[in-house]
Structure formats: structure tokens, C-alpha cells
Amino acid sequence: MNTDKLSDRLAAVAKYVPKDARLADIGSDHAYLPCFLAKNSGITFAIAGEVAHGPYQSAKSNVAAEGLAEIISVRMGDGLEVIEPEEVDCITIAGMGGALIKSILENGKDKLNSVKRLVLQPNISAISIREWFIDNNWELVAEEIIEEDGKIYEVLIGEKGNPHRPYGAALDKGLLMGPFLVQKHDEIFTKKWSAEKKNWQRIYEALEDATETAETIEKQQELINKIRLVEEVLKNEES
Ligand SMILES: C[S@@+](CC[C@H](N)C(=O)[O-])C[C@H]1O[C@@H](n2cnc3c(N)ncnc32)[C@H](O)[C@@H]1O
């Protein structure tokens, strides 16, 4: 991978960064995304934030090697603390779990005043982000699902607005599977949720063989609820 050609996953994130964005890429690792955008999309200011020393050094040396130090400021720090107030209007956070992305947003709320768009790519648990959007008045405005190297990734784009708008009456389904992705239900979506359903069914059956406790009963109920939601959506697609 280099800064001229992104992975399909990061390309799906890059697509949603406005050309004139003032960007912060949090958890930037090699800084591939801001380097690519500075070279190919025309953004003129970006922060590459990193909490870990190795990735921070790697981001720093890539930015220097590309001659992009005037445009990309590489900063070490936890989450949004690397951003000064009003400094950016777009934030990307990619390649982490949904719960971690959610906690980064929650802990850095004071830095979101000037931010118009969030482009988030959770590796798992996109539901955590959709829930956070609802609780914090961010409206999900688009979603992508892509497959690369046998893994399936979702990209969630949020803007300030009416957080309930995309869901209509189908909140539970939308939170779990993504309202735009449910609507589109392409092959990758079907593949992801068929596999999740199979996995939940396996866990459910394993719990049937385990000693029954209040906890196993609750877990089974939770699994049944999720399996039903997924079945409803996949059935609609087949009809
Ligand atoms: C798997 S990498 C993803 C790199 C890149 N964003 C991508 O999608 O390819 C996750 C990176 O996030 C960084 N990270 C994790 N928690 C962070 C936090 N709270 N603040 C800043 N960076 C963080 C890690 O050090 C790691 O380099």
C-alpha cells in the first residue's frame, strides 16, 4: 500500500471527505488517508492523530517523505485531544471497533462544534456508532458496505441534523443493520448478515447445552431478537 493507491476500505472512507475539508484523521497509523487526500483530492489542511508511538513515527516519516508537512500536521495524543477548538470541519476514524470510535467521540465532544461531517469505519459493532449518533443529534446521511480480502466493512457518514430521519418506524432493524444498507441490501450485505445469523444460531445452540442461568436465558433472548430482525430483512429481500 502507498499514498497514491488506497485499500478499497480506505478509498470508501476517502470518497466522503469533502474536497475543501479541514480534516482530522484520528488513529491515522501510517497517515495513508490524509496523504492520499492531500495529493489527490486537494485538501489543504489535515491533522493525523495517533496515540501510539510507533504509528505516530510512521505517520511522521511518511508525511515528511511525501513532502506534505506543510499540509498535514502529525500529532500524538488520545482521540480528539490532538484537535484545537474550531480547527477542523471533518473527522475520519477508521479501522477500529465501533465501541472505541464511540468512546473517542464521546470523550471529545467539545471538539465537535465546528465539525460538519464524521466519516467512520468501524471494523465491528457499527450499532455502537448509530446509537451514539441518535443520542447526540448526528444524522446518518449515508452508509457503505464493502468487502476486501475476505472481510466486510461498513462506513458510516454523519452530519448534524435529525438523528431519527433515516430510520422511520424501523429503528431496531436500522440500528443493527444500517437503514441505508437495509434499503440497498446488496450481495455483501446479505453475505454479512447470513453469516452473523449462522454464528448467533451456533451460540444459541451452545447455550441450550449449557447450564441454564438467568444470564444464559437473557443471552438467548437477545440472540433470538437479533436473529428475528435479520430474518425479517433477509426474507423481505428474497420476496
Ligand atoms: C488498525 S489502525 C487503523 C489505521 C487507519 N486508520 C486505517 O484505517 O487503516 C488503528 C490505529 O488507531 C490508533 N488508535 C487507537 N486508539 C486511539 C486513540 N484513542 N486515539 C488515537 N489513535 C488511536 C492505533 O494506535 C492504531 O494505529
- The CA 49 to ligand 1 mean position distance, Å, reads 8
* CB of residue 96 inside a 6 A radius of ligand 1: yes
Q: Is the pLDDT of residue 238 over 80?
A: no
- Quick one: CA dihedral 159, 173, 107, 11, positive or negative? negative
Q: How far apart are CA 121 and CA 17, in angstroms?
A: 13
Q: Whose CA is nearest to atom 11 of ligand 1?
A: 27
Q: Is the pLDDT of residue 239 over 80?
A: no
For residue range 47-101, list pLDDT tens digits in order.
Answer: 999 999 999 999 999 999 999 999 999 999 999 999 999 999 999 999 999 999 9
For residue range 107-143, list pLDDT tens digits in order.
Answer: 999 999 999 999 999 999 999 999 999 999 999 999 9
Q: How far apart are CA 200 and CA 231, in angstroms?
A: 12
Q: Whose CA is nearest to atom 13 of ligand 1?
A: 27
Q: Whose CA is nearest to atom 22 of ligand 1?
A: 27
- The CA 79 to ligand 1 mean position distance, Å, reads 9
Prediction pTM value: 0.96
CB 21 within 8 A of CB 54: no
Residue scoring higher pLDDT (39 or 236): 39
Which atom of ligand 1 has the smallest separation from the CA of 7? 9
* CB of residue 34 inside a 6 A radius of ligand 1: no
Q: Whose CA is nearest to atom 7 of ligand 1?
A: 95
Amino acid 235: pLDDT: 87
